[in-house]
Chain A
Amino acid sequence: MSERSNLRLLVLAVLVLSLLGTLVARAYYLQVMEGAEYRAAAENNTVREVAEPAVRGIVLDQAGRPLVANRTTVVVTVDRQVLDQQPNDGAAVITRLARILDTPRESIADRLKTCGSEGAKPPPVCWNGSTYQPVPVASDVDTQIALSIMERRREFPGISAKLEAVREYPAPFNANAAHMLGYLGPVTEEQLEAQGDGDDRLRRTDVVGRTGLESQYDDVLRGKPGITTLAVDTAGRVTGTLEERDPTPGNYVVTSIDSRLQSVVEQQLLAAIRRAQEQDYAGKSGAAVVVEVDTGRILAMASYPTYDPSIWIGGVTKKQFKQLIDDESLSSNAYQGQFAPGSTFKAVSTAAAGNDNFDLYGIYPCPSRMKIGTQVFRNYESNAYGPISLTRALEVSCNTVFYEIARRMWQEAGGPDAEVTAPDPVAESARTFGLGSRTGLDLPGEASGRVASREFKYDNWEAKKDTWCRNAEEGYPETRKTDPKLADYFTALDRENCTDGYQWRAGDALNAVIGQGDTTVTPLQMAMVYATIANGGTLYQPQVAKGIVSPTGDVVEVFDPVVTRRVDVSKKTLRFLRNSLPGVTTDGSGKTPFLGFPLGKIPVASKTGSAQVTGEKASTSWFASYAPANDPKYAVVMMVTEGGTGSKTSGPSVRKIYEALFGVKGQTVNPRDSVLVGGSPQDALPTVRPDGTPVSPKGRGSGVADIRAAGSSS
C-alpha cells in the first residue's frame, strides 16, 4: 500500500480520535462541571395537563328521537399564556376584543381572573380551570364576528374562536320530561375530592349531571376528555407538547320513554289540573305514570308543575333558581312526591284480606258509618249499600266493608295492647307490593313513601315522646296567654300522646285500610302495585333507561327487566283482584269517565281514590288502572293534589291516555292510530348511524322537523 494511503488513513484515525475526545470533553463539561445546574433545571421541569371535555352523549326516546341533544355554539377563548407576553399584559387586546364582542371590557377582564386570586369575582364569573387552558369569555358568538377575529390574528394574539357543544332539548311533540332528563351543573368540590387521579377524572371546569338521567348515567354520557400534556418550565412557560390524546365522545342513553306518549300524558295531566281548578279546587300539583306491566319500563312519566329544562343551559341565575324553588317545580311528584293513596290502596287491602283468609267471595255489610269508641268512620258521602260482595265493595269503594275487615284483623292481633311485632296483614301486604321502600327506579332522589303500622307508630312515639311529655308538663304557656282554651286542648292532646302515643288503635287500623292516615305512596309506587296485579304478581323494578348505544351505532348494553320480587300474595287472591277491578270501570266509581269507551274491545281495570288530607279543602284525586284487563299491557296512574274525586278529575285524563295508547277513535280501536309507532313499544334499541345520528320514525312519528339537526354535533 502506498505511503500516501497509509498517511491519510493515519490522519483519519487521528481525526476520529479527536472527535471522540471532543465528545468526552463535552460530556464532562455538561455532566460534571455544570451537572448541578442541569439537575436543578430537570427538577423544575414539570408537566401540565390540559383537558378538553368530550362531547356528551345524547338521550333518546324508545323510537330513537333525541330528548336531550347537543348543539354547537361559537365560543371565544383567551389564552392567558399568550396574553401575558403582550405589552401591558395584553390590555389593548382585551379592549379590542370587548369592542368587537360589544361587551364591557370589565366583564372579559373579570372572566380572566383565576378564582380566589386578588379582585376575582365569585364563580361562575371567575375562571376555575387551569392556567394553561384557554378561558372561554363569550359563547353564542355570531359567526361573522368569530370569523373576523380569526382573520385578524395579529390584532388578537391568543384569542381564538372554536365550536363547543352545549345541551339542547329538541322536545319532540313538545314533550317536556324535565324531571326525568335532569340537568347539568358545575362539578362540586365533594365530587372532585371523592375521585381518583386517572386521566378520565373530573376537572374543575367540567359539568356533570346533577339530577335525572343526566346524573344517573353521568359516567355513560360523559365520555373521556382529550388530554394534552405540556412541558412547562420554572417560570410557568410552556416549552413543548409531550402528548396529545383526542377526546372520546360519550355514549347515548336510550330510554323506554315514548316522547309522543309523554306529550299526551303531560297534556292530560295539565287537563286534569285544569279540571280540578274549574271545580274551584286548588289543583296545586299532580303526576302521571305509564308503565309497561311485563317489564317495569316507564313509557311516560309526568309531573306538574314542571319547568323548561333549557333554563339550565349555561347555568341558572340566582333569581331563576329562586323562582324554581318557589314554584316547587324542581322535584318530580311522580317519584319524589309522597301522597296518601286513598281508596286506590284498597287493592292492597283486599290482598291483605285474602292473605288473612277472609272469604273473598263472601257477603259483607256496607252501612253508611261505623262507630269505634267515640269516633265515627263514614263512607264517602255517607252512602250505604247493604250486604254486598267484596267485588262490589271495590266497585263502589265501600269504606265500611274494609273498616270491618281491618277491625277484625286489629282485634285478632291483640287490639290496643298488641305487641309492636303483632301481625298486621295490611302493612305486610303494602310492603310486599313495594310500598314504604324505594322502587329502585334508575333516577336519583326517589322517595320511599311510608306504610302506617304499629312499628311506625311506636318509632314515631319514641322520637317525639320527650317533646310531647314536656309540652304536656309545661301546658303551652305562650299560647295560654292569648287563648287558654286552645292551650288546654293542646295540653290534653300531648298528655295523651305522651302516655300512650305508641298505641296502634282501632282508628289507626281503620284509616290505614282505606289508604288514609300515615300511609303515603309515590304515584310511581302505585303504578307498580297495579302493574304487579296486572302481570300476575311480579313486582318489577321500574326503569327509564333501556340501553346504551355508542355514538358510532354499536349497542353497548341492554338493560333487561329487573324483578324485585314475586309478591307474597296468593294466585287466587290476585285472580280475584283481576276479576273484580274491571267492574270498577264498568259498574263502579270509575264508570263515568269511561262512558263511551270501547270497554268491550279494551277492558280497563281501575280503582279510584279520593284521599282526605288534613288541612286541605279538596281530596287528592287518584285514578289507578291497567289495560287491557284481559291481557294487561300498560298500567296508568294519575294523581292530582287538592283535585277532588278520582273519577271526576283524573279519570277522564286516564281515559284519554288509553285512547292514545291503543288508538281508540270513538268505538273503533286501530293500533295504527296509536301514538306508539307500530302500536306498541319497540323491542330493539333504535338504530344510530355510524356518524352518530339516531334513526327516528319518519313522517308523523318523527316529532321534530329535522332530526339530523337535532343529533349530536360530534
Chain B
Amino acid sequence: MSTFMRTDPSVHTLTRQSGYWRDLDWILLIAAVATTIFGSMLVWSASRADMASDSDPQSYLKRHVINIVIGVVLGWIASRLDHRWLRAYTPIIYGVSMFLLVLPFVPGLGTTIAGARAWIDLPGGLTIQPSEFAKVAVILMMAVLLSEKRDAESEPRDKDVLLSLGVALFPILIILVQNDTGTVLILGSVALSIIAVSGARTRWVVGLIGGAVVGIMVAIQVGLLKEYQVQRLTSFINPTADVSSSAYNANQARIAIGGGGWSGYGLFEGPQTQGKFVPVNESDFIFTVVGEELGFIGSVVLLGLLAIVLWRAVMIAFRADDMYGRLVATGIVAWLAFQMFENVGMALGIMPITGIPLPLVSAGGTSMMATWIAIGLLQNIRLHAVRAGV
C-alpha cells in the first residue's frame, strides 16, 4: 500500500493538503512549545541580573524570542519537506554542514567562547555554532546510508555501516579538535543508536560499544592530562588562583539546585541565580535556575515536559513507515535524550562539566533552531507514516 501511495503523486498531494494540521503530533508540538516557553522564563530570570545595568534589561530575552521564532519557522519548513527531496539533498546538506564545521578554523571568522573554538562570527554581532547543525546533518546522512538499497527486513551491509560510521566520525574528530567534548559524546551516542536500530549485525553494536568505552577511557586519560597541564599553566600565570573554576561552577550549581528544596525561592527570587553566583546560567547551567527558583516541583515539571517530547519521538520512531524515517527519529531521540542528560546531569553534579545547552530551554540561537528543525523532522516522519496508513 505504501508503495502505491508513494507512486501516486495526485493522491499524495491531496492527502498532504487536507491532513497536515489534523495529522500533526499535537502532543509533541504542545510539549515542545510548553518547554520553550518554560525555558524563556528561565532565560529571562537568569539574564535579568546580568542585564540590569544595561539600557534594555530585556535585550537578552528579546534575542531569545527572535531565535525561537526563527527556529519554529525552520521546524515548520522541515515538517513539510518531501522525503524524496530530503533524501536527494541530504548529501548536500551534510557537505555544507561539514564545511561550516571547518569554517571556525579560518582565521578571522571563528570565535572562542568558553575555550571551545566552535563559533562563526556573522555581521551584526551574531554567532552561529555549526556543530548544532552538524548533529542534524549526521542523523540525516546516516539514515540515508543505512536505509538505501534494501528492504526494511534485511540488515544493512557492512559496507554501509562502515560508510555511515565514517559520516559520523568526520565531524566527531573535528569537534574533538575544537575541544567540545560534550558534543562528541552526543554525536557518538547518536551514531551508535542509529547503527543499532538500523538492524546492523550484533557484532557491530557490541564492537562499537566496546570501542566507545575504550575511547572514553582514553579521553578521560587525555582529559586528565590536559587538566593537569591547564592547572600548571594557570598557576604559572596566577599563583594565587588556587580555585579551579570548574570545581567552583559545579559547587555553586549544586548549592543553587539543592537550595531550591521542594518548591524553590520563587521565580526571580533565587539568591544564587540573581546574585550571579552560577556562571552561564542562561545556557549551560540553566537547570540551576529552575532548580533554585521553582524547586523540585519545577524540576520535575521541566523534566516531565522533556520526557513527553522524548516519548512522542520514540513513538514516532516505532511507527515510522520506513527504515529512513525510523532512523531519523531514532537519531533525534538519542540526540535530545543524551544532550538533556548531559546538561541536567552536569548541573546536578553527576556528569562532567561540558559546555552544551539544554534543548528547547537554554539561550543560544543555533541550538534552538536545530532543535526545532528536529521537532519538524519528527512531525514530517509522523505525517509520512499517517499518510502511509501505518
Point out residues on A near B: beta carbons under 8 Å. 1-2, 4-6, 8-9, 11-13, 15-16, 19-20, 22-24, 26-28, 30-32, 34-39, 41-43, 45, 47, 79, 81-82, 85, 153, 157-158, 231, 238-240, 242-243
Complex Cα distance, B260 from A37, in Å, reads 11
Residues in chain B near residue A242, CB distance under 8 A = 276-277
Confirm or deny: B152 has a beta carbon within 8 angstroms of a beta carbon on chain A: yes
Contact (Cβ within 8 A) B248 A8: no
Q: How far in angstroms is the closest Cβ of chain B from A232?
A: 11
Complex Cα distance, B348 from A34, in Å, reads 12
Beyond A13-B333, A31-B261, list 18 extra A-B contacts (CB 8 Å): A5-B152, A5-B199, A12-B330, A27-B299, A31-B258, A31-B296, A31-B299, A34-B258, A35-B262, A38-B254, A41-B255, A41-B258, A42-B255, A43-B259, A82-B240, A238-B243, A240-B248, A242-B277
Confirm or deny: B198 has a beta carbon within 8 angstroms of a beta carbon on chain A: yes
21 A-B residue pairings within 8 Å (CB atoms)? A1-B326, A4-B155, A5-B326, A12-B193, A12-B333, A16-B310, A19-B337, A24-B300, A28-B296, A30-B254, A31-B291, A31-B296, A35-B262, A38-B254, A38-B258, A41-B258, A42-B259, A43-B271, A45-B255, A82-B239, A82-B240
The digit string for B254-271, where 1 denotes a CB below 8 A from any CB of A, is: 111111111000000001
The digit string for B62-106, where 1 denotes a CB below 8 A from any CB of A, is: 000000000000000000000000000000000000000000000
Q: How far in angstroms is the closest Cβ of chain A from B335?
A: 11
Given A13-B314, A239-B251, A4–B257 Cβ distance below 8 Å?
no
Confirm or deny: B31 has a beta carbon within 8 angstroms of a beta carbon on chain A: no
Complex Cα distance, B199 from A40, in Å, reads 52
Q: Which of A6, A30, A82, A231 is the most central at the interface, judged by chain B CB atoms within 10 Å of its CB?
A: A30
Complex Cα distance, B338 from A231, in Å, reads 32
Contact (Cβ within 8 A) B258 A5: no
Given A23-B345, A23-B348, A2–B152 Cβ distance below 8 Å?
yes
Complex Cα distance, B83 from A404, in Å, reads 118
Complex Cα distance, B349 from A4, in Å, reads 35
Residues in chain A near residue B388, CB distance under 8 A = none
Complex Cα distance, B260 from A31, in Å, reads 6
Confirm or deny: B178 has a beta carbon within 8 angstroms of a beta carbon on chain A: no
Residues in chain B near residue A28, CB distance under 8 A = 296
Q: Which of A2, A79, A82 is the most central at the interface, judged by chain B CB atoms within 10 Å of its CB?
A: A2
Residues in chain B near residue A42, CB distance under 8 A = 255-256, 258-259, 271-272, 292
Contact (Cβ within 8 A) A19 B341: yes
Residues in chain B near residue A85, CB distance under 8 A = 242
- The residue in chain A whose Cβ has the minimal distance to the Cβ of B334 is A12
- Residue among B252, B323, B330, B337 making CB contact with A240, cutoff 8 Å: B252
Q: How far in angstroms is the closest Cβ of chain B from A118?
A: 26
Q: How far in angstroms is the closest Cβ of chain A from B139?
A: 14
Complex Cα distance, B344 from A41, in Å, reads 21
Q: How far in angstroms is the closest Cβ of chain A from B94?
A: 23
Residues in chain A near residue B166, CB distance under 8 A = none
Complex Cα distance, B254 from A242, in Å, reads 17
Complex Cα distance, B323 from A37, in Å, reads 51
Residues in chain A near residue B257, CB distance under 8 A = 27, 30-31, 38
Residues in chain B near residue A13, CB distance under 8 A = 314, 333
Contact (Cβ within 8 A) A47 B344: no
Contact (Cβ within 8 A) B261 A27: no
Contact (Cβ within 8 A) A38 B255: yes
Q: Which of B259, B295, B307 is the most central at the interface, judged by chain A CB atoms within 10 Å of its CB?
A: B259
Complex Cα distance, B239 from A713, in Å, reads 27
Complex Cα distance, B277 from A42, in Å, reads 10
Confirm or deny: B7 has a beta carbon within 8 angstroms of a beta carbon on chain A: no
Residues in chain A near residue B170, CB distance under 8 A = none
Contact (Cβ within 8 A) B275 A23: no
Contact (Cβ within 8 A) B252 A231: yes
Complex Cα distance, B202 from A673, in Å, reads 102
Confirm or deny: B216 has a beta carbon within 8 angstroms of a beta carbon on chain A: no
Residues in chain B near residue A5, CB distance under 8 A = 152, 197-199, 323, 326
Chain A to chain B: the 4 pairs with minimum beta-carbon distance, closest first: A38-B258, A42-B259, A35-B261, A240-B248
Residues in chain A near residue B240, CB distance under 8 A = 79, 81-82, 157-158
Contact (Cβ within 8 A) A9 B317: yes
Complex Cα distance, B241 from A153, in Å, reads 13
Residues in chain B near residue A45, CB distance under 8 A = 252, 255, 271-272, 275, 277
Residues in chain B near residue A38, CB distance under 8 A = 254-259
Given A42-B272, A240-B252, A30–B258 Cβ distance below 8 Å?
yes
- Residue among A9, A16, A82, A239 making CB contact with B337, cutoff 8 Å: A16
Complex Cα distance, B257 from A24, in Å, reads 12
Contact (Cβ within 8 A) A6 B318: yes
Complex Cα distance, B317 from A175, in Å, reads 88
- The residue in chain B whose Cβ has the minimal distance to the Cβ of A237 is B243
Residues in chain B near residue A36, CB distance under 8 A = 261
Contact (Cβ within 8 A) A8 B199: yes
Complex Cα distance, B263 from A32, in Å, reads 9
Contact (Cβ within 8 A) A2 B155: yes
- The residue in chain B whose Cβ has the minimal distance to the Cβ of A157 is B239
Residues in chain B near residue A238, CB distance under 8 A = 243
Confirm or deny: B196 has a beta carbon within 8 angstroms of a beta carbon on chain A: yes
Confirm or deny: B245 has a beta carbon within 8 angstroms of a beta carbon on chain A: yes
Confirm or deny: B153 has a beta carbon within 8 angstroms of a beta carbon on chain A: yes
Contact (Cβ within 8 A) B300 A27: yes
Confirm or deny: B109 has a beta carbon within 8 angstroms of a beta carbon on chain A: no
- Residue among B277, B291, B299, B341 making CB contact with A231, cutoff 8 Å: B277
- The residue in chain B whose Cβ has the minimal distance to the Cβ of A16 is B337
Contact (Cβ within 8 A) B277 A39: no
Q: How far in angstroms is the closest Cβ of chain B from A265?
A: 49
Contact (Cβ within 8 A) B348 A27: yes
Confirm or deny: B230 has a beta carbon within 8 angstroms of a beta carbon on chain A: no
Given A12-B334, A16-B333, A27–B197 Cβ distance below 8 Å?
no
Contact (Cβ within 8 A) B199 A35: no
Residues in chain A near residue B307, CB distance under 8 A = 20
Complex Cα distance, B197 from A13, in Å, reads 11
Given A27-B299, A43-B271, A231-B277, A22–B350 Cβ distance below 8 Å?
yes
Residues in chain B near residue A1, CB distance under 8 A = 152-153, 320, 323, 326
Residues in chain A near residue B252, CB distance under 8 A = 45, 231, 239-240
Contact (Cβ within 8 A) B261 A239: no
- The residue in chain A whose Cβ has the minimal distance to the Cβ of B239 is A153
Residues in chain A near residue B314, CB distance under 8 A = 9, 12-13, 16
Contact (Cβ within 8 A) A9 B275: no
Q: How far in angstroms is the closest Cβ of chain B from A488?
A: 78
Contact (Cβ within 8 A) A39 B261: yes
Confirm or deny: B386 has a beta carbon within 8 angstroms of a beta carbon on chain A: no
